[in-house]
Structure 1
Amino acid sequence: MDLSEELAIANWRKASKSGSNGGDCLEVAPLSGGRVGLRDTEAPEKAPFVVSAGVWDAFIDGAKKGEFDF
C-alpha cells in the first residue's frame, strides 16, 4: 500500500480536550513504520504532514515536559 492509500484509510483522531469548537484542531493518525500523519481539521482535503517515529516521540516528550507552554 502506498502512502496516499494509507492516509486515505487512516484512523484520524483529535485530542479529547479539543472540545466541539468546530475546528481549530489538529488530527493525528498512526501510520506504518511508526510514522504519524498530522492534518488540520478545518482542511482535511489538504495533504497532511507525515513525520517519522523519532520526530513524533521528540514532540510528545517536549509537550509532556512543558517545552511548548506559553
Structure 2
Amino acid sequence: MGDAELTGVHCRLDELLAERGMTLTRLSEEVGVSLVNLSVLKNDRAKAIRFSTLIAICEALDCAIGELLVRAER
C-alpha cells in the first residue's frame, strides 16, 4: 500500500510542474522550500504541509489548493 493510500491524499505536484514546464529546482527557488522537502511532497511521502508552504506553492504554480492536493483513489 502506497503512502497516498495510507493518508488518503495524493499530491499532483509532478503533473502541475509538467503542465507548466517548470522544474522542481525552479519551484524550490521560487517558494524557498528545499528540494528534499518538495520531493517528499511530490512523491506522496509527506505526512503534513504548512499552510504557508501550500499557499506559496499554489501561488508559484498559479493553481488552487484542490488542484494540487486531491483525494487518493482507493
Higher relative contact order (CA 8 A, sep 6+): 2
Greater strand proportion: 1
Greater helix proportion: 2
Q: Which structure has the larger Rg?
A: 1
